[in-house]
């Protein structure tokens, strides 16, 4: 039997950063993680610290486009037909979250969280000696069609109202910055003050190493249940029980069964995403580029060019669909005609996704002493630092730097 002040269940980017912040505040912390701590989904991510990503996925135009998107088997969003029945509850909530008033509230909530994200993550990375993996530079959102560029430009005032500086680059200005792009592009929006992570896997590993070097414990095991135990909590794991005064649940898409045992049903789905790592792309990009038609990201990294994106709902256990990774090359070639795929490596990961695009960052009223930090969808790396600060404040019973009302677990009602 192990004893600790705080047990963090799940050692992805959210669990690892929360563990580091709690350790900094003087707690003995144990991460329970069946695989490598610090690896998780973020290790395969696009490495975009997307402070500008304040727009929830559900919105009226996505709903209008949904039937067309779902009929396109090769499109950026697919639902495996046999998985559809499992998406019903999530889908109804997604529709409700697309109401204009709900979208406005979500933008406000995300902009407040992201407004504190840079400072928190950069400070955490510096303390762990991992800041060398973070490069501050403009990120480009490139469009091929004039209408798509106009739609992206229409978001600039909303971004500005939330403190994010963006400017329009016409085709000439864009090609001057990134000459590898096809001349068929219409232009781009340049987001100032963004960050690119040059090696998300090494970044997470450096954070986990720092945690261990400062006497943090990593128990390589799977948590199977969390239960009250006299005055503390007992985490049952595949390697024995752990007694802890406080628990943080940060097991990404795998959190739902653990929370169910504590009396909460959360509409958590895996929005599966893919990457294709190109070690010899034969084209050079100097910045991270977000492409708009279809949505995907190309990130220059230490070990090549990473193409990442696509959304697939097929459940957690279905095997990866290699085609979803390969199609990233085909769509990228439309923008980068000289791109080569020699030595390409495919990867699939699970974005923990709640229907309103907002995470849960909350103390659990039905389980006093347990904090949940899940559902960061496509922004987990971005929001990890600020989430860690909020989680540590909740553990300590302090007021977090961000109003967490929009991120409470009760917002989905009784499922
Ligand atoms: C293709 C793709 C691109 C992305 N690009 C970006 C990006 O550019 N920027 C960005 O900010 N975000 C990005 N994301 C999203 C980001 O990766 C996620 O939001 C983030 O990794 C979620 O972190 P997490 O710690 O909540 O979950 P995870 O990383 O999934 O970690 C959960 C951990 O819990 C462990 N676990 C599972 N079951 C148990 C159990 N029973 N007991 C204990 N531990 C358990 C798992 O092994 C895992 O390590 C991307 C995601 C994908 C798929």
pLDDT digits (tens, 9 = 90+) for 228-281: 998 899 999 999 999 999 999 999 999 999 999 999 999 999 999 999 999 999
- Mean of pLDDT over the chain: 96
Across the range 139-155, mean pLDDT stands at: 96
pLDDT > 60? residue 380: yes
| Res 414: pLDDT | 57
Give, using CA atoms, the residue closest to atom 2 of ligand 1. 45
How many Å lie between the centroid of ligand 1 and the Cα of residue 298? 19
> What six digits make up the tokens of 257?
């069964």
Query: Which pLDDT score, from 0 to 100, does residue 74 have?
Result: 77
pLDDT of residue 381: 98
Question: Could you tell me if the CB of 38 is within 6 A of ligand 1?
Answer: no
Atom of ligand 1 nearest to the CA of 308: 1
> H or E segment at 323?
helix 322-335
255: Cβ contacts below 8 Å, ≥ 6 apart: 9, 10, 249, 266, 268, 352, 372, 374
Residue with CA at minimum distance from ligand 1 atom 14: 378
- CB of 354 shorter than 6 A to ligand 1: no
% of residues, the chain, pLDDT over 90: 94
CA angle 392, 396, 399 (to 5 degrees): 80
Of the chain, the end-to-end C-alpha distance in Å amounts to 35
Residue ID of nearest Cα to ligand 1 atom 27 = 252
Does pTM top 0.95 for this prediction? Answer: yes
Answer yes or no: is pLDDT of 407 > 80: yes
Query: What is the pLDDT, as a whole number, of residue 86?
Result: 94
Which of ligand 1's atoms lies nearest the C-alpha of 297?
8
pLDDT of res. 66: 86
- Give the CA distances from residue 379 to residues 15, 177, 315, 336, 359, in Å, rounded to whole numbers and listed in that order: 14, 26, 20, 26, 9
Around 258, how many Cα atoms within 13 Å sit in the side-chain half-sphere? 28
pLDDT for residue 348: 98
Tell me, in angstroms, the distance from the centre of ligand 1 to residue 303's CA.
21
Task: Report whether pLDDT(118) > 70.
Answer: yes
Q: Could you tell me which residues are beta bridge partners of residue 225?
A: 236
Candidates 251, 328, 353: which one to mutate for ligand 1, based on the most atoms within 8 Å of Cβ?
251
List pLDDT tens digits, range 175-200: 999 999 999 999 999 999 999 999 99
Give the CB-side neighbour count of residue 254, counting CA atoms within 13 A.
19
Please tell me the predicted confidence (pLDDT) of residue 36.
97
Q: Does residue 65 surpass a pLDDT of 90?
A: no
Grade residue 76 by pLDDT with cuts at 50, 70 and 90.
confident
Could you tell me if the CB of 204 is within 6 A of ligand 1? no
Where does the pLDDT of residue 394 fall: very low under 50, low under 70, confident under 90, or very high at 90 and above? Answer: very high
Pocket probe mutation, ligand 1, options 39, 40, 50, 360, max atoms within 8 Å of Cβ: 40
pLDDT of residue 69: 81
User: Model confidence at 85, in pLDDT bands (50, 70, 90)?
Assistant: very high
Average pLDDT over residues 139-164: 95
Identify which has the larger pLDDT, 317 or 74: 317
Task: Give the residue, out of 9, 35, 39, 45, with the most ligand 1 atoms within 8 A of its beta carbon, to mutate for a pocket test.
Answer: 45
pLDDT in the model for residue 73:
78
In the numeric block, which tokens belong to residue 181? 């792009």
How many A from CA of 350 to the centre of ligand 1? 6
Q: Is the pLDDT of residue 415 over 70?
A: no
Angstrom distance (rounded) from CA 69 to CA 295: 12
């Amino acid at each position: 039997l192990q004893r600790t002040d705080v047990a963090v269940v799940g050692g992805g980017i959210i669990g690892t950063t929360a563990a580091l912040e709690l350790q900094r505040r003087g707690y003995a912390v144990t991460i329970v993680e069946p695989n490598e701590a610090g690896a998780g989904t973020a290790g395969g991510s696009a490495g975009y610290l997307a402070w500008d990503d304040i727009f929830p996925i559900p919105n009226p135009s996505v709903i209008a486009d949904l039937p067309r998107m779902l009929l396109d088997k090769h499109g950026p969003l697919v639902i495996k037909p046999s998985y559809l029945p499992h998406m019903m509850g999530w889908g109804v909530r997604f529709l409700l979250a697309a109401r204009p008033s709900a979208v406005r509230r979500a933008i406000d909530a995300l902009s407040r969280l992201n407004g504190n994200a840079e400072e928190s993550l950069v400070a955490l990375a510096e303390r762990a000696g991992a800041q060398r993996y973070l490069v501050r530079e403009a990120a480009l959102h490139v469009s091929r069609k004039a209408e798509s560029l106009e739609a992206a430009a229409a978001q600039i005032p909303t971004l500005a109202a939330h403190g994010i500086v963006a400017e329009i680059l016409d085709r000439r200005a864009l090609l001057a910055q990134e000459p590898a792009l096809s001349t068929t592009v219409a232009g781009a929006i340049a987001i100032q003050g963004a960050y690119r992570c040059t090696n998300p896997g090494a970044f997470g590993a450096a954070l986990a190493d720092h945690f261990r070097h400062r006497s943090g414990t990593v128990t390589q095991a799977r948590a199977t249940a969390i239960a009250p135990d006299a005055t503390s909590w007992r985490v049952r794991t595949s390697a024995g029980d752990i007694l802890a005064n406080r628990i943080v649940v940060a097991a990404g898409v795998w959190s739902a069964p653990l929370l169910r045992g504590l009396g909460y049903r959360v509409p958590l789905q895996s929005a599966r995403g893919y990457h294709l790592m190109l070690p010899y792309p034969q084209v050079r990009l100097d910045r991270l580029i977000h492409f708009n038609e279809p949505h995907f990201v190309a990130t220059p990294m230490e070990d090549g060019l990473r193409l990442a994106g696509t959304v697939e709902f097929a459940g957690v256990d279905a095997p990866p669909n290699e085609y979803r990774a390969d199609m990233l090359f085909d769509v990228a070639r439309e923008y980068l005609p000289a791109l080569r795929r020699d030595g390409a490596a495919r990867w699939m990961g699970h974005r923990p996704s709640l229907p309103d695009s907002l995470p849960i960052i909350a103390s659990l009223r039905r389980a006093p002493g347990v904090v949940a930090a899940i559902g960061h969808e496509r922004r987990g790396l971005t929001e990890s630092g600020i989430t860690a600060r909020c989680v540590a404040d909740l553990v300590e019973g302090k007021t977090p730097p961000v109003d967490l009302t929009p991120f409470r677990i009760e917002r989905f009602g009784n499922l």
